[in-house]
Structure 1
């Protein structure tokens, strides 16, 4: 299968700035755009004309509706034509490929998943191609593909290392481009999620914004000055060295008291299994704790206090306007919210402002959406460097 990518002229830096401003904050009046970007009226007209002619921007009536029977007046707001481009986003896990199609504003309009029977790169590419082919039948103008996966990627194209796939130096973008004919972007899945939430989600419009994810692993990302902070630690699992309670439980690998040992779903299940001899799911552990079963309640209480401690540390040192707690493990807050809040207060100055904490249960399609946002940033807006 070879799909034909939707085409558009490369954007100049000025055009890109206008497009990003409208994409992330629109619809906006011309005066608002000029003020935000410190542009003269003439410069703004010069920059917006090609964006309107290419179909990327459109003049809309007040409230965002398209004007009837006319192109609009200069006083009418400008907005992105969200449906003018569609993008494929992928999240690769140990045993599944989760795929979505999104609009230019990252709204999910289709989902399709397939199992992984092998971690051989060619097999994974075959599965990615099959999902893309299914999407292409419904959306023939696909503009590109973004992939998020656990591990480290360089140049947004090569998987340098992925422990759960057993990969080293796999040129995933090139392999999939050869099979689909579409441009491909590859990045660490947490970085992709942070970008998506910063541009279109909980962090939209915020200068400083943090994301903490709990699930099979632990992830942390920070946005400052409206841009994601890029670190050499990206994709390296820093939660393993984020010590929360030196007297805390051991993991199967013998680590004691780290955020990984206390908070991740596999280690919470391990602690309950070691104490009770029962192998139960994470949801069952939460239900047992909610019923007051002693061992599960103790494990979940320790996890909740560890989570509150981490949130307080992030608030103390990064001073974000909001912290988003995401991932498939955030049901912990529903069961043990008071313990989380008590730990936050215990690790904050008594006169500190309340922590603006938002929780979001993220399924794997949310993570796949992050891949699509990477494609939007790189393929439409030309942001080649991470965090740029």
Structure 2
């Protein structure tokens, strides 16, 4: 049963949208500003049919027309169609074991405001109460009424929003989506955090340019996601963190589960810091580790060199096995790439067939708010054009 609406939730849009109109609106949101001719080609419609389909969306204000621009394909100026950025607003919340990181965004996942709330405990009740508090706070901060809320966390999430397993929260079979909808009176989407980040890239990042790409995240752990033909790949194993234990270095350190030289052992921030701290005999955080390596500290440089080589091997494996040529690096540990780009690319090249297409590596922001933005993106995908 859908959650009840609130005042302002459906402003400026038709009572219901047919599937073809939904497809049009979504395409304009992702690709806009865009001409009617290009839309007609994408949707395999005549321009006349496309114009008829778009008229009620224009009349309702869900779509808008821009100023006249030159269009070489038709030889005369045309007005591009777009979705106004203020058509709707959404809250995204990233749940960790220690805090809730939240943002409020417009319909294109542009962050308008952000907030952080420490978690007093790991219970579902604490997460629900904190999400409600942050939603109200961000609405007031941005001066908007949000249409929906997205929540992401590390773990397995069923399609009905039940958190099947979230080890860092000690959760099993928690009906988080229904608990939040009952509390907020808003539509809520709950998703795995890496999948949410991939979804943000699908609509508002790499997916605007290419239909096939992989996402590798480096931070507290190592995550992996995939988009093929503009579809985010979800399976029964999504959220298990399988990419976190891909073997990379048979001589590397052990991860907490006893795997030697896996991606978590080689690339995660905790493992990198632990190795350097042990070598130096004092605690070292990630920023200090990068600085020490840049200053020529041998222990730090050796650990980061091995990590960078492992990252290149992982990128090569991902592209070889899935046959994608674009990889997005995300997470709070992506500074490793900038610090050791040459090492990463050398390992990537060594792991690819010389006749294979070149791999484009895109580095996303290391800001932790990107995780919350990913949560907002899955809410946008589900609720931007409520039928």
Q: Same fold (TM over 0.5)?
A: yes
User: How much does 1:197 deviate?
Assistant: 0.9
What is residue 325 of structure 1 aligned with on the other side? 329
Q: Which sections of structure 1, spanning at least 5 residues, go unmatched?
A: 65-73, 384-388
**Which residue of 312, 318, 324 maps to 1:314?**
318
Please say which of residues 37-46 and 218-227 is displaced more in the overlay.
Answer: 37-46
What is residue 71 of structure 1 aligned with on the other side? none
**Which residue of 331, 336, 343 maps to 2:340?**
336
**Which residue of 142, 154, 157 maps to 2:146?**
142
What is residue 27 of structure 1 aligned with on the other side? 33
RMSD: 2.0
Please say which of residues 24-33 and 346-355 is displaced more in the overlay.
Answer: 346-355
The alignment of Structure 1 onto Structure 2 pairs a total of residues equal to 373
What is residue 238 of structure 1 aligned with on the other side? 242
Supply the distance in 1 between the matched residues of 2:34 and 2:92 (Cα, whole angstroms): 27
Supply the distance in 2 between the matched residues of 1:272 and 1:156 (Cα, whole angstroms): 43
1:228 is the counterpart of 2:210 = no
User: How much does 1:14 deviate?
Assistant: 0.2
User: How much does 1:312 deviate?
Assistant: 1.1
**Which residue of 170, 177, 183 maps to 2:174?**
170
User: How much does 1:44 deviate?
Assistant: 1.7
What is residue 88 of structure 1 aligned with on the other side? 91
Please say which of residues 224-233 and 187-196 is displaced more in the overlay.
Answer: 224-233
- On the 8 A contact 1:159/1:168 being kept in 2, the answer is yes
Matches within 5 A, 1:92-241: 92-137=95-140, 138-241=142-245
Pair 1:247–1:204, CA change in 2 (3 A):
same
Counterpart secondary structure, 1:342: helix
Please say which of residues 137-146 and 276-285 is displaced more in the overlay.
Answer: 137-146
Runs of 4+ aligned residues of structure 1 deviating over 6 Å after TM superposition are none
Supply the distance in 2 between the matched residues of 1:170 and 1:54 (Cα, whole angstroms): 39
User: How much does 1:203 deviate?
Assistant: 3.0
Matches within 5 A, 1:50-89: 50-62=56-68, 75-89=78-92
Supply the distance in 2 between the matched residues of 1:175 and 1:19 (Cα, whole angstroms): 30
**Which residue of 41, 45, 52 maps to 1:46?**
52
Q: Which sections of structure 2, spanning at least 5 residues, go unmatched?
A: 71-76
Pair 1:324–1:55, CA change in 2 (3 A):
same
Task: Give CA-to-partner distance per residue, 1:288-340, whole Å, 9 cap, x none.
Answer: 11122121111111111100101111222222231111111111112222211
Supply the distance in 2 between the matched residues of 1:190 and 1:4 (Cα, whole angstroms): 32
Counterpart secondary structure, 1:14: helix
Counterpart secondary structure, 2:191: strand
User: How much does 1:223 deviate?
Assistant: 0.9
Counterpart secondary structure, 1:203: helix
Please say which of residues 251-260 and 326-335 is displaced more in the overlay.
Answer: 251-260
